[in-house]
Structure 1
């Protein structure tokens, strides 16, 4: 990473810190003013990060992620309900199986120890 990028990232961190400091410094102001102060700090930081090489790669990754999410074929409501039903049924069957194993082992251990 270039030295200029490192300096820009430090400046961006300082903008974030300034936004957070402004949020607490304006503790008697309206909530919208405090929110605007912190958002302004974060927006300035994002603008500075966007000018760095790692920032450009991050934003490109975000853009590619959104494009990939748009290409995903999401299941229909019917498929979602059916899959949820299968998962719940499996969970109930597994819980009953584990309860039966636990109870069986408890009986075996009690019998071996002479308790009944």
Structure 2
């Protein structure tokens, strides 16, 4: 990234921070004006960011990611439900196993070793 772009990104971040600070620490202004200041700072930050190379890189990345997402073979509804049911069944079996182990260890420690009931 060029130094000019770094400066632009820094300015955009500072604009966002200035808007957030103005929103928080200028309570004398009514609510609509505070929201307006925040939105104006966000819009100004977006405008500054829009002219950077980083924006172009991000747009290219997002476009490529969208193309790749279209290429993915997503599972059918039936496969999704079957997988979900298998996961729920496994969680149930694991919970039952953990309950049995917990009760067994409780019995061993409290009744056999410590003699409590």
What is the aligned-residue RMSD (CA, Å)? 2.8
> Partners in 2 of 1:15 and 1:102 — Cα distance?
56
SS of the residue corresponding to residue 93 of structure 2 reads helix
Q: Is the 8 A contact 1:50 1:59 kept in 2?
A: no
Question: SS of the counterpart of 2:32?
Answer: coil
Alignment: residue pair count: 113
Query: Which residue pairs with 1:29 in the alignment?
Result: 32
TM-score normalised by structure 1 residue count: 0.72
TM-score (norm 2): 0.72
Please give the alpha-carbon distance, in whole angstroms, between the structure 2 residues aligned to 1:51 and 1:61.
17
Cα distance in 2 for residues equivalent to 1:76 and 1:86: 15
Is 19-28 or 86-95 further displaced after alignment? 19-28
* Consecutive unaligned residues in structure 2, runs of 5 or more: none
Q: Structure 1 CA distance, aligned partners of 2:40 and 2:63?
A: 23
1:89, distance to aligned residue in structure 2 (A) = 0.7
Distance (Å, rounded) in 2 between the aligned partners of 1:68 and 1:43 = 30
